[in-house]
Structure 1
């Protein structure tokens, strides 16, 4: 291997370690070499077991593939305390009489359970567990709308039927669960069809609130749902490092860091945040 190739591969590996993944097109611009050269470097790193080649780029060898989608039951018990803290902080954003949308996910399911006491609530969701958690025939003041669609491993209903159901709806807030989020890729999903359905949820909402625990930072899924700059509020937990809090607060409208036993810490909003006003 030439010295130049070794230097390029060190740069590629360092970037993947720092960001969790990288695209070939970005490396072409960064390194000033051809697409073929970058792909050959990635292939050599993959042969050494240092990275995993994925469609359009590479991730760390010990990281899940960008298209890997864990089963809902698997995710349900992970970071349980953090998700409960996030759910309590997010629920505080919902006023009686609101209309809200909840995407699929274990964090949004925890939020659904926190919303049971909110009066006069209309909920739109593409999540079967969320709909089950909120449906109560004795609650005349609560309406739950479940989209149709094809069911995914995360118990989401996705695809053209779900998108069509959302097309003419308008809700005050969307609470969006994500597979991962990073400065480079924004909020991502391992399922392209679910990402498209989530974008339809965003289009139906006045404001978008992303709920995600700190372990999802720099986890990269196959498809981007929304960039960080277009997120009105990001609710994360106290495991988020201070440096990363500053980075995220510079992008999203408002960063809320939920603590397990105490008040929610508020960071932001970022000055000059474009688009919609952040939730307060």
Structure 2
């Protein structure tokens, strides 16, 4: 296969998924990792993508850009599944928790279906449906009202008013981006306000996010890094990002994709 053909396929994969990994491309294209890295360097020089640790992401990282739920649900699936499994281990029978909208939090909900006596408050119709339809018979699911966003989050005054009435053990939060100074962000202003209220209603914050979100900044911040009791992410996280998070969050869980092996690192306050 000619270099131009490979690079066209890489761009097509980026258009479809928003992020690509070197290992996946090498397998798909039948070439070495080194060949893929050279192609990514060429495409970055041409302004077609941005190289990140282990792969590349699209250029359109505007603070207001938000992919559709369908697009996001196809990205980083093994990483999200491993992250969700690790995060589910933090939940105990009888807990009262909040779960934000998102594809990683939806994966988490699927892992919680057999945990008994849960009370789950969520602004995600998808999360609510999974737990209502497949959850343990003792589980109570409370869905906020509100206006629906592209990520299928219910947001706005109705959601905020509902969330203010709760006192919960933990909030499990999915994010659009993580940045050393900007913290955990989203491109949607109303979703940011709703998630800030959800965080305030909970005794602790657990952020579940794959490593491709590092150094991505959305329009509005939801929390600082220091507010996170725990961050659960995958081993694609760059070394410098790990150092930052270990120094800021309570505990960093780094999960090896496909193995669910967790590397626990206590950070500030942890």
TM-score (norm 1): 0.74
Choose from 245, 249, 254 the match for 1:252. Answer: 249
Report the CA distance between 1:64 and its aligned residue.
Answer: 2.2
For residues 79 and 62 of structure 1, the distance between their equivalents in structure 2, rounded to whole angstroms, comes to 18
Choose from 222, 227, 230 the match for 1:225. Answer: 222
CA distance 1:241–1:119, shift in 2 (3 Å): same
For residues 227 and 113 of structure 1, the distance between their equivalents in structure 2, rounded to whole angstroms, comes to 27
Structure 2 SS opposite 1:215: helix
Q: Conserved in 1, the CA contact under 8 Å of 2:124 and 2:152? A: yes
Q: Structure 2 unaligned segments of length 5 or more: list them.
A: 1-45, 48-56
For residues 135 and 231 of structure 2, the distance between their equivalents in structure 1, rounded to whole angstroms, comes to 33
For residues 60 and 212 of structure 2, the distance between their equivalents in structure 1, rounded to whole angstroms, comes to 12
* Alignment of 1:82 onto 2:79: yes
> Can you list the C-alpha shifts for 1:79-124, whole angstroms capped at 9, x where unaligned?
0000001001100000111111100000000000000111111100
CA-atom RMSD in angstroms: 1.8
> Can you list the C-alpha shifts for 1:51-97, whole angstroms capped at 9, x where unaligned?
xxxxxxxxx99232110111101100100000001001100000111
Choose from 259, 263, 266 the match for 1:265. Answer: 263
For residues 121 and 215 of structure 1, the distance between their equivalents in structure 2, rounded to whole angstroms, comes to 31
- Structure 1 or 2, whichever has the larger Rg, is 1
Q: Structure 1 unaligned segments of length 5 or more: list them.
A: 1-48, 51-59
For residues 262 and 170 of structure 1, the distance between their equivalents in structure 2, rounded to whole angstroms, comes to 31
* Alignment of 1:118 onto 2:115: yes
How many residues end up aligned between the 2 structures?
215
CA distance 1:207–1:150, shift in 2 (3 Å): same
Structure 2 SS opposite 1:264: strand
* Alignment of 1:65 onto 2:62: yes
CA distance 1:96–1:151, shift in 2 (3 Å): same
CA distance 1:247–1:155, shift in 2 (3 Å): same
| Bigger mean CA deviation after superposition, 165-174 or 133-142 | 133-142
* Alignment of 1:195 onto 2:181: no
For residues 156 and 179 of structure 1, the distance between their equivalents in structure 2, rounded to whole angstroms, comes to 13
